[in-house]
């Protein structure tokens, strides 16, 4: 995709010096902490955060970046992000540590600044050359005209050489690969316009196209910059998401515990996994008992039991008790890395998608070259060998047809659309995502974590008596197990207060027990409490020898999910639900939302195969998923969306990330994408229309620099305005 | 006349270009939203900020590309 070509030219200067620069960068960043502060969005936040933090010991400077919602703190080396977060919280803001290494790419957007620099130079030259050109168009003759042409040339030639470099480079790269993209006719037009104008100015000719050459550079660079900015903004936000997950593990050594990077783990290491933490590597439990949440990996909504001898995989979340795990696979061998390899294969297939702009360029280049060359040949024959006249005409044809509007047609729309979508909480990661999204006719959803929040919600709390509820609440408060948390929250919402239960303790992997009114009370797994094991997600309470009480849970629906499914069905899209969870849970959700086609118990490869089978039937599939088990399917689909709560790998594999909890913006994404593609087509039609009028004029030799300037600027402005019509 | 006017107009243009390059080099486009808010703050209205409280980037960036820049 286009992403890969960007660092090729400009970036290489940096590549050469990279090792040295990186060493220095690490040293400079040592005493610097960057925090993401999502809540910093108003002017009042700046003094509040900066003046609140600066007086603290050890802090040299605190600076808020309101555009990126980041806080950068320089300190004397004594602070860690963990020290700062409570201080920021004291000031009333939520802060998350960011991984500086993962961020390094976005902090200094060199390619972007380089483009702006070239754009600025082109703008200066365009304005000055235009000033001189207006005098010539208004009738300045003879010596004045020639001098003005020469001055224009003195400005335009260095400008074209400097500002046109991105085009020349990419055109040359294209020639070497044997493919003529849009940049080849652009470069040709720039070179031809400049050289012919030099010749004409020295020979007292009437027409010099310096203004056209510079203007062309400016408008095309503008399009290039917009394109870059959209991608850079998405990339920076995506990197920020990745930087939020600082990959650390606690390794147990003979001397005690140490915190290490996950990449430093080796097979045979002992690691400690605290309750609530994610398992950093594949391994086998050697000590401890707990329950683990596998939903991100397999889509199962029920926690699984983990005890000595059980196998755990990277990405699972430890719920109740501390575990000691012996690493059996790390780095490249881990299940996470294997999944990533699966994704890479599917990505490869998707990158072969040809964008609208590519297709336009493919049709455009040969056409323009043929036109220009035939014009040259015709006039050579007509004027019996007047090379100067013939070249002038063929250059004018090239300049007039030059794709100012074509170069802006797509980037302007993409910029407008991604701005609109960002406001709705959607982040576009790929430039062609909108075009692919517009074609979608089939949507495949994942269940756990996508249509549901992946968090349980107690059912029918009202059906239980207040006494057992308040006992259960007291017990539940002693645990961080998701079912316990949900139960405690549900009871609190009903206005209940916890019963006075004493000696509450958690039995990892089983539940919580305590003493209430001299009776032993237990809340937890049915078999531990002494009740029959049911089919649904549930926890059981037993007070002394009384009948056990079962609290059933269902996965809470993600806000907006119901509305989204209804709206998509109404639009006539084919909907599918594919989950790794057990059949009853999937069937229940499919029934509740009205999704006719559902599959349960699907393994990651089966999900990918499901999507592939749909694609083979000619369906254009949008995949919405969040788990590691979805990544292959996400990459396999034509276009994919994942919520921000998704695992890193899933977000990396998808084209669009939904930042909020609410999933309804997916519908907006589809609507805006269709509208955007319509605008792009209109823009192509518009620029073609200009050419239909101006090309014949150029071919018969009536084109003047004034006409070229008019056609170019008017078409560029129309195309940009049309892009802004997006709602 | 033109012998004066043309250089004058070009000089003015170059002046603008120079100013633009300077702002770009000093990274004044990095936090447009924040700068829009900062100008309204009355914190340093009476006297300028002491040197050690000025943002570090204004001082250290004269040396061209900052270490850690990605290629």
φ/ψ of A547, rounded to 5, equals -60, 135
| Contact between A46 and B34 using a beta-carbon 8 Å cutoff | yes
Query: Is there a contact between A196 and A190 (Cβ–Cβ < 8 Å)?
Result: no
Residue A71 distance to chain B (closest CA, Å) = 12
pLDDT given for residue B44 in this prediction = 75
- A676 vs A688: CA distance, rounded Å: 18
- A153 vs A158: CA distance, rounded Å: 9
- A261 vs A247: CA distance, rounded Å: 6
Question: For residue A263, is it within any domain?
Answer: yes
A326 and B CB contact within 8 Å: no
Residues whose CB falls within 8 Å of the CB of residue A67, separated by 6 or more in sequence, listed in order: B30, B31, B32, B33, B34
Q: Residue A185: which domain range?
A: 111-237+352-412+678-724
> Can you give the CATH number for the domain in which A64 is found?
3.30.70.100
**Out of A227, A446, A630, A648, which one is annotated catalytic?**
A446
Which chain B residue has the Cα nearest residue A26? B68
Identify the three-state secondary structure at position A170: helix
Query: Is there a contact between A310 and A285 (Cβ–Cβ < 8 Å)?
Result: yes
User: Order of strands across the sheet with A538-543?
Assistant: A452-458, A549-557, A538-543, A519-524, A511-516, A502-507
The structure tokens listed for A574 are 């084919």
Question: For residue A130, is it within any domain?
Answer: yes
- Shared domain for A660 and A608, answered yes or no, is yes
C-beta atoms surrounding A618 within 10 Å: 8
- A710 vs A690: CA distance, rounded Å: 11
- Shared domain for A402 and A424, answered yes or no, is no
Of A723, A718, A85, the C-alpha closest to A412 is A723
- A324 vs A339: CA distance, rounded Å: 24
- A381 burial via Cβ count (<10 Å: 0-12, 13-18, 19+): exposed
- Shared domain for A562 and A439, answered yes or no, is yes
- Residue A193 DSSP class: H
Q: H or E element: which one contains A463?
A: none
- Shared domain for A47 and A89, answered yes or no, is yes
Residue A353 distance to chain B (closest CA, Å) = 27
Using alpha carbons, list the distances in angstroms from residue B42 to A367, A391, A487, B47, B48: 61, 63, 50, 10, 11
Residues whose CB falls within 8 Å of the CB of residue B15, separated by 6 or more in sequence, listed in order: none
Question: For residue A75, is it within any domain?
Answer: yes
Q: Residue A272: beta bridge partners?
A: A250, A324
- A165 vs A159: CA distance, rounded Å: 10
Which chain B residue has the Cα nearest residue A116? B24
pLDDT given for residue A356 in this prediction = 77
The structure tokens listed for A218 are 């400016």
Q: Which residues of A touch B67 (CB under 8 A)?
A: 21, 24-25, 28
pLDDT given for residue A8 in this prediction = 34
- Shared domain for A42 and A125, answered yes or no, is no
Q: Residue A551: beta bridge partners?
A: A539
Of A330, A349, A347, the C-alpha closest to A338 is A330
- Shared domain for A305 and A361, answered yes or no, is no
pLDDT band at B53 (very low <50, low <70, confident <90, very high): low
Ranges assigned E (strand) in A301-346: 304-306, 311-312, 317-318, 323-329
Q: Which residues of B touch A121 (CB under 8 A)?
A: 17
Q: H or E element: which one contains A294?
A: none
pLDDT, tens digit (0-9, with 9 covering 90-100), for A536-549: 677 888 888 788 88
Residues whose CB falls within 8 Å of the CB of residue A627, separated by 6 or more in sequence, listed in order: A295, A296, A297, A298, A299, A446, A448, A449, A450, A580, A646, A647, A650
Question: For residue A360, is it within any domain?
Answer: yes
Using alpha carbons, list the distances in angstroms from residue A300 to A363, A650, B51: 50, 17, 58
Identify the three-state secondary structure at position A717: helix
| Contact between A14 and B31 using a beta-carbon 8 Å cutoff | no
Tell which of A124, A130, A163, A236 to mutate to test the B interface (max B CBs under 10 Å).
A124
Ranges assigned E (strand) in A397-518: 426-428, 442-445, 452-458, 502-507, 511-516
pLDDT given for residue A457 in this prediction = 80
Identify the three-state secondary structure at position A536: coil
Question: For residue A488, is it within any domain?
Answer: no
Q: Which residues of B touch A108 (CB under 8 A)?
A: 65-66, 68-70
- Shared domain for A268 and A282, answered yes or no, is yes
| Contact between A124 and B13 using a beta-carbon 8 Å cutoff | yes
pLDDT given for residue B19 in this prediction = 92
| Contact between A121 and B38 using a beta-carbon 8 Å cutoff | no
Question: For residue A233, is it within any domain?
Answer: yes
| Contact between B69 and A61 using a beta-carbon 8 Å cutoff | no
- Shared domain for A316 and A362, answered yes or no, is no
- The larger pLDDT score, comparing residue A330 to residue B60, is at A330
- Shared domain for A686 and A568, answered yes or no, is no
| Contact between B9 and A131 using a beta-carbon 8 Å cutoff | yes
Residues whose CB falls within 8 Å of the CB of residue A572, separated by 6 or more in sequence, listed in order: none
- B44 vs B50: CA distance, rounded Å: 10
- Shared domain for A429 and A407, answered yes or no, is no
Identify the three-state secondary structure at position A452: strand
pLDDT at B17 over 50: yes
Count of domains in chain A? Answer: 4
A352 and B CB contact within 8 Å: no
- Shared domain for A328 and A256, answered yes or no, is yes
φ/ψ of A723, rounded to 5, equals -65, -35
Question: For residue A669, is it within any domain?
Answer: yes
User: Order of strands across the sheet with A323-329?
Assistant: A256-261, A248-253, A270-273, A323-329, A282-287, A311-312
Question: For residue A667, is it within any domain?
Answer: yes
Q: Which residues of B touch A67 (CB under 8 A)?
A: 30-34
The structure tokens listed for A583 are 């059949």
In DSSP notation, A660-712 reads SS--THHHHHHHHHHHHHHHHHHHHHHHHHHHHHHHHHHHTT---HHHHHHHH
Active site residue A254: no
Identify the three-state secondary structure at position A325: strand
pLDDT given for residue A10 in this prediction = 34
- Shared domain for A282 and A149, answered yes or no, is no
Residue B48 distance to chain A (closest CA, Å) = 16
- A723 vs A519: CA distance, rounded Å: 71
Of A145, A227, A143, the C-alpha closest to A183 is A227
Residues whose CB falls within 8 Å of the CB of residue B19, separated by 6 or more in sequence, listed in order: none
Of A410, A408, A357, the C-alpha closest to A680 is A410
| Contact between A43 and B41 using a beta-carbon 8 Å cutoff | yes
- A642 vs A451: CA distance, rounded Å: 11
The structure tokens listed for B61 are 């960036």
Q: Which residues of B touch A22 (CB under 8 A)?
A: 68
Low-confidence ranges of chain A (pLDDT < 50): 1-29, 105-107, 246
């Amino acid at each position: 995709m286009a992403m890969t070509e960007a660092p090729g030219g400009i970036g290489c200067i940096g590549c050469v010096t990279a090792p040295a620069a990186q060493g220095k960068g690490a040293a400079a960043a040592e005493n610097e902490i960057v925090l993401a502060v999502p809540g910093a969005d108003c002017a009042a936040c700046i003094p509040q955060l900066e003046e609140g933090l600066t007086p603290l010991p050890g802090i040299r400077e605190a600076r808020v970046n309101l555009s990126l919602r980041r806080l950068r703190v320089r300190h004397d080396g004594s602070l860690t992000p963990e020290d700062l977060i409570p201080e920021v919280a004291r000031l009333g803001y939520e802060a998350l540590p960011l991984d500086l290494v993962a961020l390094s790419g976005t902090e200094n957007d060199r390619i972007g600044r380089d483009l702006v620099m070239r754009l600025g130079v082109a703008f200066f030259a365009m304005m000055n050359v235009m000033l001189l050109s207006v005098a010539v168009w208004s009738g300045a003759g003879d010596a004045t005209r020639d001098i003005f042409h020469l001055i224009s040339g003195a400005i335009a030639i260095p400008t074209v050489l400097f500002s046109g470099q991105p085009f020349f480079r990419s055109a040359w790269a294209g020639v070497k690969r044997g493919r003529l993209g849009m940049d080849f006719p652009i470069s040709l037009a720039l070179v031809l316009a400049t050289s012919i104008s030099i010749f004409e100015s020295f020979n007292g000719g009437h027409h010099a196209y310096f203004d056209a050459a510079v203007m062309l550079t400016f408008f095309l660079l503008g399009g290039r910059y917009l394109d870059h900015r959209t991608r850079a903004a998405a990339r920076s936000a995506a990197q920020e998401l990745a930087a939020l997950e600082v990959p650390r593990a606690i390794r147990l050594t003979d001397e005690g515990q140490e915190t290490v990077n996950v990449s430093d783990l080796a097979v045979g290491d002992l690691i400690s996994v605290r309750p609530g933490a994610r398992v950093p590597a594949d391994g086998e439990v050697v000590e401890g008992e707990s329950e683990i949440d596998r939903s991100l990996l397999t889509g199962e909504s029920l926690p699984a039991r983990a005890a000595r001898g059980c196998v755990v995989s990277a990405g699972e979340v430890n719920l109740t008790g501390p575990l000691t795990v012996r690493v059996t696979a790390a780095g490249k061998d881990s299940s996470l890395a294997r999944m990533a390899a699966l994704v890479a294969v599917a990505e490869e297939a998707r990158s072969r998608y040809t964008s609208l702009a590519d297709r336009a360029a493919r049709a455009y280049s040969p056409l323009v070259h043929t036109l220009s060359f035939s014009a040259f040949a015709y006039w050579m024959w007509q004027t019996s060998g007047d090379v100067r006249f013939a070249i002038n005409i063929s250059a004018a044809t090239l300049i007039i047809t030059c794709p100012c509007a074509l170069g802006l047609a797509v980037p302007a729309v993409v910029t407008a659309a991604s701005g609109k979508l960002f406001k709705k909480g959607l982040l576009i990661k790929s430039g062609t995502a909108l075009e692919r999204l517009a074609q979608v006719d089939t949507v495949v959803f994942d269940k756990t974590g996508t249509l549901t929040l992946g968090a349980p919600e107690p059912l029918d709390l009202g059906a239980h008596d207040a006494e057992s509820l308040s006992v259960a609440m007291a017990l539940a408060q002693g645990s961080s197990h998701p079912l316990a948390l949900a139960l405690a929250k549900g009871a609190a919402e009903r206005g209940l207060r916890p019963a006075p239960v004493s000696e509450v303790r958690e039995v990892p992997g089983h539940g919580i027990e305590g003493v209430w009114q001299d009776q032993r009370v237990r809340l937890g797994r049915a078999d531990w409490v002494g009740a029959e094991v049911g089919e649904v997600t549930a926890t059981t309470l037993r007070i002394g020898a009384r009948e056990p009480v079962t609290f059933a849970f269902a996965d809470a629906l993600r806000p907006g999910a119901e509305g989204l499914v209804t709206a998509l069905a109404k639009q006539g899209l084919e909907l599918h639900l594919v989950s790794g969870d057990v059949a009853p849970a999937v069937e229940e959700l499919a029934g509740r939302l009205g999704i006719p086609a559902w599959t349960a118990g699907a393994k990651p490869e089966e999900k990918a195969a499901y999507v592939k089978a749909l694609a083979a039937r000619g369906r254009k599939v949008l995949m919405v998923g969040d788990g590691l088990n979805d990544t292959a399917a996400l990459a396999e689909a034509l276009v994919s969306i994942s919520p921000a709560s998704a695992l890193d790998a899933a977000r990396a594999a998808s084209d669009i990330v939904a930042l909020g909890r609410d999933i309804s913006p997916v519908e907006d994404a589809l609507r805006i994408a269709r509208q955007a593609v319509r605008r792009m087509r209109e823009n192509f039609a518009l620029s073609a229309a200009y050419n239909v009028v101006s090309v014949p004029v150029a071919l018969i030799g009536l084109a003047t620099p004034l006409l070229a300037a008019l056609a170019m600027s008017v078409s560029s402005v129309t195309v940009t305005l049309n892009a802004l019509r997006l709602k | 006349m033109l012998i004066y006017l043309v250089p004058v107009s070009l000089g003015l243009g170059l002046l603008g270009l120079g100013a633009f390059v300077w702002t770009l080099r000093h990274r004044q486009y990095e936090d447009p939203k924040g700068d829009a808010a900062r100008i309204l703050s009355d914190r340093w209205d009476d006297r300028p900020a002491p040197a050690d409280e000025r943002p570090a980037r204004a001082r250290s960036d004269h040396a061209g590309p900052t270490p850690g820049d990605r290629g």
